[in-house]
Amino acid sequence: MLRFLASLSLTLAFTFTLSAADWPQFLGPTRDNNTPEVVEKWKDDIKPSWKMPVGESHSSPVVAGGIVYAFYQPKGKNADALAAFDAAKGELLWEKSYERPEFKPLFGAGPRSTPAISGGSVFTLGGTGILACWNAKTGEIVWKVDTLKEFNAKNLFFGISTSPIVVDDKVVVMVGGKGAGVVALDAKTGKTAWQSTDEPASYSSPVFVGGQFVFLTGANLLGLNAKGEKLWSVPFEGKVGNLVESSATPIKVGEMVIGSTVTSGAIGLRVAEKDGKFTSEKVWDNKKLTCYFSTPVVVGKHLYMINGVASITNPNITLRCVELETGKVAWEKSGLGKYHAALIRCGPTGKERLLMLDDDGSLTLIEPNTTEFKPLIRTKVCGKTWAHPALVDGKLYLRDENDLMCIPLK
């Protein structure tokens, strides 16, 4: 195992406290595209308050303690870099990197996975499977593990894309190795804490809700407890030929678990526990609800989903409002992008708004409605992007193909 333990004392000496306004991981504080922040209709000519060039990546920015972190491939180097920027001014605080083998998949050579911040550290997972722990204050590498080599797993066609999640001082990632489909490493040392299942890997990222992890692997929707023990499993895969295309993050609301792929559509499961045993029942199955790599959001009793098709010649995405309990489509609006749009649910219950950043760089504020598509304002804010934005204190932090930027919405 490849590890560097040189800077552990610096990490322990730095007290790093996440605030309620932070966006410390993929899909936000609760990893479900949900924030209590209120977003009102903005002026049509909003511009970035700052913009900084960054390397190639589909990784999303994360924010904690007034610092924005970006993970990317430095120009002209076979390396993964992590950089820290002052959230208010955009000033570069530090940039650190490590070398890794050359990897040039389709749709960009930079990392796709989004960092996770916890306990004074930033955890990243590069496209070649290197999981690294960085000191959040200085950028020094505390440890790193080549997960594909360590657990005898193979890379995916487009590169490792699953984002790490930190639970109970464990960094949990999907690896796809024999007996190591899912692996947990000690957050302070990088040593293996547990490894579980023979599940093949996918591009999807896990969630942890109600005491259990939910994964969309290369073969199943899967529930594990905090120790890695299997609770339930339902076959569900998305493939184009021999390629795994499962990329969207599953969501769990109460007893309902929703999974979607770009080829198999979406399914709704009811997962229940009785006397310590779990059961999973398929409630609905809708082949039309094909999520590529956008994660649905829930408002009340409805899902809002970005659906698309695996097409290079005629890509097109559609926003659909779907009944959570039945999978029935209430309404749909097509022509909103090519492959992807990120959704964020904003505001308290009863006063929700949806923010949608499409892959052409346009930002739309939407009023959730179960009968029709109700856009309030749409503004071009950046260039082409597949990265999910982060919303903190009325400021939207996002990146396009060239730059990291801050868009003030207030």
d(CA 105, CA 112): 11
pLDDT at 15: 34
**pLDDT tens, 264-273?**
999 999 999 9
* Paired tokens of 294: 């956008």
Q: Spell out the long-range contacts of 29-35 with Cβ–Cβ below 8 A and sequence spacing 24 or more.
A: 31/165, 31/207, 31/208, 31/249, 32/207, 32/209, 32/251, 32/295, 32/297, 32/298, 33/295, 33/296, 33/297, 33/342, 33/343, 33/344, 33/345, 34/297, 34/344, 34/345, 35/344, 35/345, 35/346, 35/391
Q: Assess whether pLDDT exceeds 70 at residue 397.
A: yes
Taking a C-beta distance cutoff of 8 angstroms, is the pair 187, 133 a contact?
yes
Question: Among 78, 157, 133, which Cα is nearest to 110's?
Answer: 78
Taking a C-beta distance cutoff of 8 angstroms, is the pair 183, 192 a contact?
yes
**Would you tell me how many other CB atoms lie within 10 Å of the CB of residue 276?**
6
320 sits in which H/E element: strand 318-323
pLDDT band for position 104 (cuts 50, 70, 90) = confident
**pLDDT tens, 294-324?**
999 999 999 999 998 766 777 889 999 999 9
Question: Among 47, 85, 70, which Cα is nearest to 409's?
Answer: 47
Q: Higher model confidence: residue 45 or residue 291?
A: 291
Class of domain 1-30+58-203: mainly beta
d(CA 201, CA 129): 12
12 sits in which H/E element: helix 8-13
pLDDT at 339: 87
pLDDT band for position 240 (cuts 50, 70, 90) = low
**Would you tell me how many other CB atoms lie within 10 Å of the CB of residue 240?**
12
**pLDDT tens, 21-41?**
799 999 999 999 999 999 999
**pLDDT tens, 129-142?**
999 999 999 999 99
Q: Higher model confidence: residue 59 or residue 313?
A: 59
d(CA 333, CA 330): 11
Q: Assess whether pLDDT exceeds 60 at residue 7.
A: no
Q: Higher model confidence: residue 62 or residue 17?
A: 62
pLDDT at 332: 97
d(CA 192, CA 216): 22
3-state secondary structure of 331: strand
Q: What integer is the mean pLDDT of 233-258? A: 86
**pLDDT tens, 172-220?**
999 999 999 999 999 999 999 999 999 999 999 999 999 999 999 999 9
d(CA 128, CA 125): 8
